[in-house]
Structure 1
Amino acid sequence: MSLTKPNQDLKRDLQGVASDLKWSAVELMRIAERLSLAGNEADTQAVLKMCTVLHADEDRLAAYADEVKAGDIIRSSNNTS
């Protein structure tokens, strides 16, 4: 199934945000490592929890993008910005 322009844009946007979340989680993991090396375990654990949330959100957005591609989620023309 060929995607309409609004659906292509939606899929691209979802994939882009998912990619941003992945990058953010990777950077936070580096920060967590430095915090741990500095002996700051409380902040290390807080940052690691944030990474877990970001990874879950990344997975959810990627799944939404797959649903757009499959035609299960459709953006109507009046929903575009």
Structure 2
Amino acid sequence: MSLTKPNQELKSDLKEAAAVLKWSGVDLFAISKRLLDAGDEIGADELMKIAVSYQATEDKLTAYADEVKAGVIKRIKTR
């Protein structure tokens, strides 16, 4: 099934947002490790929590993009 242009854009936007979260999480993990190595366990733990939440949100956005592709979610035209 081919997607309408708005749904293609929605799928693409969701995938792009997921990728941004993924790489931001990767960066946060790296910074967290440096903080931990420097002895800042509290700062490292806080960044790890944020990175994990990014990963969970990335997974949701990827699943939504898959649902758009499958036709389960459709973009509604507004205005």
Aligning the two structures, in what range does the TM-score lie when normalised by the shorter sequence? over 0.9
- SS for the counterpart of 1:77 is coil
- 5+ residue gaps, structure 1, are none
Length-normalised TM-score, structure 2: 0.97
**What is the percentage of aligned positions where both structures have the same residue?**
52
Q: Which runs of 4+ in 1 moved over 6 A?
A: none
Task: Specify the code of the residue in structure 2 equivalent to 1:5.
Answer: K
Q: Which residue of 2 aligns with 1:25?
A: 25
Report the CA distance between 1:76 and its aligned residue: 2.1
Q: Which residue of 1 aligns with 2:54?
A: 54
Length-normalised TM-score, structure 1: 0.94
Q: Which structure 2 residues correspond to residues 1-81 of structure 1 after superposition, within 5 A? A: 1-78=1-78
- 5+ residue gaps, structure 2, are none
Q: What's the RMSD between the two structures over aligned residues?
A: 0.9
